[in-house]
Chain A
């Protein structure tokens, strides 16, 4: 069995988990700080662009379904080896940064919300161990686990949403576009680092088992995920108003509304913990992609688990020991937006062309 093989259905569910995992941590407060109660519009614009890019990427997936070429094969055959290596470096950096931002947000959530303060290394090591174990077992195992836990996570998200949704006054979102449409659009671009979760699909291109359709299930997942994210942002800024930028853990603050009375116990913490599984799944998927970046960069197939690659990734996870998340977001990611845009938003648009060229070249070589 190819341990990195994945069905379209599994990919769709995993994608939805990835969209939901991570966007309910510090992003809503950051957006609220940028554009106030119009943050949900900024999220909506980001998702519009995500949707367009996703369609192009899925088109490439469909074209690749009979040839099963991997990302580096497509890029090397359609552009060139040096450009491929450069893109892989950008991919690696983006994955590592996203993993670090996700982990540090979760770390903060555990210490602030759950009152469990621990050392960064002690906190990161078990998550990294789990992720490397999953990498060794293959993407298929991650996808199957996502499939198993999907219902539970969705239930937890719905449980966290229901109470605040009943209490929220959506009138607080008016007037629309108060921050200025150009600023809203610009914010959706400057905060694009948090979006384009579909980039993991690049690294499973060769393993996607397309049976009937590839567009419908994944686009449905995308639509559901986008709707939930926009809704959460709208609920968040409507509930907390001008205080929203100060509440950096959106999901835990929203969860407070689910706890009717403290005498009944903070059951929202339990649902919050279940939702956190989706964040860990996202971390696992991104670590898998970072590992694949190294594999493709060195140009060999790691038949057995490669400890050196794992060691490199593990070293990069110590980044928050030296740079705070705020510094990361304020400097590295701010300046990295342009190269990141290249792989997040430009490459997907070119992927169908690249795939077509790579396929043609493969056919010619075979002849």
Chain B
């Protein structure tokens, strides 16, 4: 649609923060901006002062050339682009013939770069993404000083018109995946995008929504690390969470600090995470079904202890375990919503007072509370999938309690079939284990020293597998 000042004026006139200045420098110019989105100093320095000092100009092209003090001067191709610039804090200058230029006068409001609370590290960079897309791109550029870092800018959301940047390294990321993701983002039809998690749902190809299929990180070093493996980073204005695509299940087991520690230590901690997650999901179910159906498996001494502890409990082992797990989930949910100071007290009240009181009162057995707590804590080694794993744990425990070992086997196999069937952007979710990709196992659970990682992972489609430059 062609730009027309009258149309534009009609759209915005009457808004409290709408500012219009008429200027005469040989030709009559009209400068408009949104007071709330623009920096007054920039408007003055990049628009008003240069025009005032131009003297005479014959056309808007001449004005554009003389506004050289502003770094971001451009010609919006249509009304839609002009509105987008305007709402983002640009000042628009119209001449009498409805020619228009936009000057970057955006205000910088937002928090400063800090260590992200969700990805604390002992060693390694402490910078984290912020809500401002420009700052976030800067954080990537700071680490990727190459013209091969490509950024595709998009606007998503009918009303929010949220700026979205798809970042990738040309020559590493596979172009077909880039095109696919850009196309998916362009086809998003929604009122608004308030956070990157909104777009994650649109990028989830198979739309299963059960497991997280799109990676997210708050740390630029992690985002760059993933881009160097062939992934894409999707930055959304207003969100400190940068999405990374494609995504593997094994990434959930990797912590930001893994690459800055000794690889032997990393291997150990990743193995512990794996074991604790598997144990968290299966332990309550096994405890219940062994106690109810196959108590012969439990060693005699342990069995006697368990029986003594649960003798006076008024609930069946299944009900008892489900109660423990549900109470633990309630505590976790409450803890998340509470201010951090109160949260600590709540954890203590929940863990010590509630658990101990329940055992003392004879409502719950100590072994069940212990297994429930162990299982609950174990899930936190995989923070992004805690909720879904917690749900699966309840389900497997219920089935195990009703059907015994057969139920545990069947439900575990169902989960595995489901996980194994997932494949987005030509990337199998369970790679490098299923399908087995031996080369990629160098940085899955076990990690070899970084200098020995000479190839990019095959699980992630890429155009250049050699990492040695």
Residues of A within 8 A of B (CB): 1, 3, 7, 9-10, 110, 114-116, 118, 123, 126-127, 130, 133-134, 137-138, 140-142, 144-145, 147-149, 262-267, 269-270, 273, 276-277, 280-281
Contact = CB atoms under 8 A, between A and B. Distances in A.
25 contacts: A9-B435, A114-B293, A118-B403, A126-B407, A126-B410, A133-B417, A134-B417, A137-B417, A140-B420, A141-B417, A141-B418, A144-B421, A145-B416, A145-B420, A147-B434, A148-B434, A264-B299, A265-B296, A265-B299, A265-B300, A266-B294, A266-B296, A269-B296, A280-B409, A280-B410
B220 interface: no
A144 B420 contact: yes
B409 A148 contact: no
Interface of B: 293-294, 296-303, 403-407, 409-410, 413-414, 416-418, 420-421, 423, 426, 428, 430, 433-436
B446 to A, nearest CB: 14
B417 A7 contact: no
B426 A145 contact: no
Contacts of B293: 114-116
Nearest to A140: B421
A144 B300 contact: no
A270 B403 CA distance: 15
B404 A1 contact: no
Given A126-B410, A280-B409, A141 B421 contact: yes
A144 B430 contact: yes
Contacts of A262: 296, 300
A114 B403 CA distance: 12
Contacts of A110: 404, 406
Contact of A147 (B297, B302, B435): B435
Contacts of B421: 3, 137-138, 140-141, 144
Given A114-B405, A137-B421, A147 B296 contact: no
A115 B406 CA distance: 12
Nearest to B424: A1
A114 B405 CA distance: 9
Nearest to B428: A144
Given A133-B417, A141-B421, 8 more contacts: A110-B404, A116-B406, A130-B410, A137-B421, A140-B420, A265-B299, A266-B297, A267-B297
Nearest to A264: B299
Given A137-B418, A265-B300, A9 B436 contact: yes
Given A130-B414, A142-B417, A147-B436, A123 B406 contact: yes
Contacts of A141: 417-418, 420-421
Contacts of B403: 118, 126
Contacts of B428: 144
Contacts of A123: 406
A110 B404 CA distance: 10
A147 B433 contact: yes
Contacts of A138: 421
Given A1-B423, A265-B299, A148 B294 contact: no
Contacts of A144: 420-421, 428, 430, 434-435
